[in-house]
Amino acid sequence: MTADQPPSVYFFDSSALVKRYTQETGTAWTEALCSSDENAIAIAQIGLVEVAAALSGKHRANAISDEKFERALADLLIDARDRFRQISIDNLVIEQAIQLTRRQKLRGCDAVQLASALSLNKSLLENKLPGITFVTADEDLLTAASNEGLLTENPNHHDDHSASQ
């Protein structure tokens, strides 16, 4: 990235973001994207709650240890404060999410995350900046994002032995 080139913007939904905090298919690829200073990472605020809930579920199922759970939650909150651009959920996002559920096969929080991503993408394009890449491990959400005109990536489709972009 050169000084006059804007960073690539990746919008992570919770199904993709959780891979940064627990070992799953796509973790290495996700980590590489999130760790690069050449990338800006955006999330919907509701995504923080969804990731925390997913981690809590893994912890309750004894899929991750107490220590890994506490570390993952602490890292999530640090990233939320220092690394991620959080997209606020306002009335316009909620209204767009409702409309998305009419056009696409989406669950409620997925529609909110997609509406947040579309709001950010619109803002970037209006300012003559490159649009976002929407990152999700949910096939229905991936299809919906693509149908809405976003570039998409699924971390599950990336070999963790080659974490290059």
Distance CA(44)–CA(100), nearest Å, equals 16
Closest to 33 measured CA to CA, from 109, 84, 98:
84
pLDDT of 6: 75
By the 8 A CB rule, do 114 and 97 touch? yes
Task: Give the domain range for residue 88.
Answer: 8-157
Instruction: Tell me, yes or no, whether 164 lies in a domain.
Output: no
- Tell me the per-residue pLDDT of 40-88, one tens digit each, with 9 for 90 and over: 999 999 999 999 999 999 999 999 999 999 999 999 999 999 999 999 9
pTM value is 0.92
- Asked whether residue 47 is assigned to any structural domain, the reply reads yes
Positions in the chain short of pLDDT 70: 1-4, 159-165
Residue 129, in any domain of the structure: yes
pLDDT of residue 3: 55
Residue 76 lies in a domain: yes
Residue 1 in domain = no
For residue 147, being part of any structural domain is answered with yes
Q: What is the CATH number of the domain that holds 40?
A: 3.40.50.1010
With b for 16 or more beta-carbon neighbours within 10 A and e for fewer, the 29-58 pattern comes to bbbbbbeeeebbbbbbbbbbebbbebbeeb
pLDDT of 84 reads: 97
- Is residue 64 included in any domain, yes or no? yes
Which burial class, exposed, middle or buried, applies to 147 when counting CB atoms under 10 A from its CB (0-12, 13-18, 19+)?
middle
User: What is the tally of structural domains in the chain?
Assistant: 1
Q: Is residue 55 part of a domain?
A: yes
**Rounded CA separation 10/43 (Å):** 9
Q: What is the pLDDT of residue 163?
A: 42
The two tokens of residue 113 are 């995350």
